[in-house]
Amino acid sequence: MTQAPGVHIKGSAGFVAVSLFRNLDVTVGAGEWTCLLGVSGVGKSTILRLIAGLETGAVFDGSIETSDGASLDGRVAYMAQQDLLLPWATVLENVCLGARLRGERVDHARAKALIEDVGLTAHVAKKPHALSGGQRQRAALARTLMEGGQVILLDEPFSALDARTRADMQELAFRLLGGRTVLLVTHDPAEAARLGHRIVIMTEAGVATVAPPALAPPRPLDDAGYLAAQAALLQRLRVPA
Amino acid sequence: MTIADQAPVAPVVDEEEAARARKDRIHRVAKWTLPSLVMVLSVLAWHLYVTLNEVPHYILPGPLVVAQSIFDDWGLLWPAMLTTTRLTVLALIFAIIGGVALAVAFTQSKWAEMSFFPYAVILQVTPVIAIAPLLQIYMDSAFGAALACAWIVAFFPILSNTTIGLKSADHNLEDLFTIYGASRWQRLRYLAAPSALPFFLGGLKIAGGLALIGAVVAEFVIGRAGTGLGLASTLLEASYRFNFGRLYAALILISGMGVVIFAITSLISHLALRKWHESAMMRER
């Protein structure tokens, strides 16, 4: 795989009468996990959708640049809170969806290997309704990996999972997405403190970069630096500076 | 470890569960036996009413007379039933083709929808019985005119349901397809069409019954001119002749056809959706 690019987004966005964010300046480091932390409704997902090239409904005045200068088209993969699996297709068909839509020859061996990586080999022929929430997100992760996109946009993909499954999924995703540029949008300070190489906090007061804990992510759940960072982040969310 | 892994039959552990299993079994049997019992009792009551009160057969024939009629007039009823069946099935097939094609056109082009949807509604709300005589004048073949009538009645639910269905794809999945750079055709084929399937099948169930109703109405109006179409014409003719045994025989065959059409469309719907759609999946409660 070629080197994953960094992404730099700056500018302002808003609706006709309401400003969503102003003077944003966020750098998503190449090959790193950047966590964008904020409460609901602050415009986090809009940033992600802007990078993904999706309709946002807001007017964006600014620029999105990559560190290698090339366009992001076709290099982005996306995972959301909803698993976004086609309910009528099997796990394998869902994982192969992107290749099928591009009219490429589907590499079934690779798809099956990725499904094995996420631990769903026994469920390869099942439809999404037969899987648990955690399994569905793992299938979505396998599909994201299958895409081979170098910039991965994660929109609260773990927020609907129970605590144990979430911790497992965070580690699995971190391991499997290693080397790619990841932008994780989350409202959970613990998630940002655990996974971010960079942590960007977004509040009504504006956007600020926060120093991450000293240990490299994913940080152990009992790490003092991680716990302190989590508390500090929550504090900043509650009382914007 | 997972819901799916635990799914295989759990052993019956306590009395409460045994009672529930017993109740389920009784329900399954009762689902068939109760309606059958009601049918037998009604026919028996009908028979007793007719024989005890000596009701003349030209007012209400008894079930035995009707059964005898079905048997004796089979040579007449069977071809008539084939004609009505052909009419209904063809009308339904054309309704599917027309309804789905128009629904696709509507969802692909707002202009097409704006231009033509009001006329689809007008076609639907104008009573077919008022259009039938006109069709009879303008079309040479009585069968063709009757087919057009039945089609008009049957196509709207398919058009309406499929249009809603094609528009109801999950918008998050729409985003995913945008990121994958899917073409318009691919969106239709891989996202909109499967999303629309449950809606289409719902429309199909309604349209199946309506196609039969349309066929019967058309036969009443068009078959009257001595063109002798199907079961409904036979029924009408029998009423003129005061042959009430045959009239009831034709009536029973028509409603039997309706039940069969409903059963077939329900089965198709069940088979198409049982693997993935909420409406058809078996859930443990």
Q: How many CB pairs lie under 8 A apart between chains A and B?
A: 65
pLDDT grade for B4, boundaries at 50, 70 and 90: very low
- The dihedrals phi and psi of A37, each to the nearest 5 degrees, come to -105, 135
Evaluate if residue B99 carries a pLDDT over 90: yes
Check: CB of residue A31 under 8 Å from CB of residue A177: no
Which A residues, 51 through 70, put their C-beta within 8 Å of a C-beta on chain B? 52-55
Among partner residues B2, B180, B194, which is closest to A101 by beta-carbon distance?
A: B180
| Separation in Å, CA of A133 to nearest CA in chain B | 10
A9 CB contacts (<8 Å, ≥6 apart)?
Answer: A24, A25, A26, A28, A47, A50, A51, A62, A63, A64, A65
Pairwise pLDDT comparison (B233 vs B11), residue with the higher score: B233
Q: Best residue in A84, A100, A123 to probe B by mutation, most B CBs within 10 Å?
A: A84
Give me the CATH topology for the region B63-273: MetI-like fold (1.10.3720)
Work out the mean pLDDT of chain B and round it to a whole number.
88
- Counting every residue written for chain B, the total comes to 285
Pairwise pLDDT comparison (A16 vs A200), residue with the higher score: A200
CA distance B10 to A241: 56
Considering chain A, what percentage of its residues have pLDDT values greater than 90? 40
Evaluate if residue B143 carries a pLDDT over 90: no
Identify the pLDDT of residue A224: 92
Decide if A78 and B176 are in contact by the 8 Å CB cutoff: yes
Q: What is the pLDDT of residues B162-175, one digit of tens each?
A: 999 999 999 889 99
**Taking Cα atoms as reference points, which of A144, A145, A124, A146 lies closest to residue A135?**
A124
Tell me the mean pLDDT in the region A118-129. Answer: 92
Decide if A131 and B4 are in contact by the 8 Å CB cutoff: yes
pLDDT grade for B2, boundaries at 50, 70 and 90: very low
pLDDT grade for A46, boundaries at 50, 70 and 90: confident
Check: CB of residue A185 under 8 Å from CB of residue A157: no
Q: What is the pLDDT of residues B103-119, one digit of tens each?
A: 999 999 999 999 999 99
CA distance B226 to B170: 53
Q: Where are the alpha helices (DSSP H) in B188-230?
A: 193-222
Identify the pLDDT of residue B74: 93
Using a CB-CB distance cutoff of 8 angstroms, which residues of chain B are in contact with residue A73?
181
> 């004796």: which residue's tokens?
B72
CA distance A205 to A191: 22
Identify the pLDDT of residue B10: 54
Tell me the mean pLDDT in the region B129-142. Answer: 86
CA distance A96 to A108: 8
pLDDT grade for A26, boundaries at 50, 70 and 90: confident
- For residue B62, the tally of other CB atoms under 10 A from its CB is 19
Evaluate if residue A79 carries a pLDDT over 70: yes
Q: Are strands A181-186 and A33-38 parallel, antiparallel or unpaired?
A: parallel
Q: Where are the domains of chain B?
A: 1-54, 63-273
Which DSSP symbol is given to A129? G
CA distance B182 to B176: 9
Q: What is the pLDDT of residues B147-160, one digit of tens each?
A: 999 999 999 999 99
Tell me the mean pLDDT in the region A41-45. Answer: 82
Q: What is the pLDDT of residues B38-86, one digit of tens each?
A: 999 999 999 999 999 999 988 899 999 999 999 999 999 999 999 999 9
Among partner residues B178, B197, B275, which is closest to A127 by beta-carbon distance?
A: B275
Tell me the mean pLDDT in the region B240-257. Answer: 92
Please give the model's pTM, rounded to 2 decimal places.
0.84
Check: CB of residue A187 under 8 Å from CB of residue A22: no
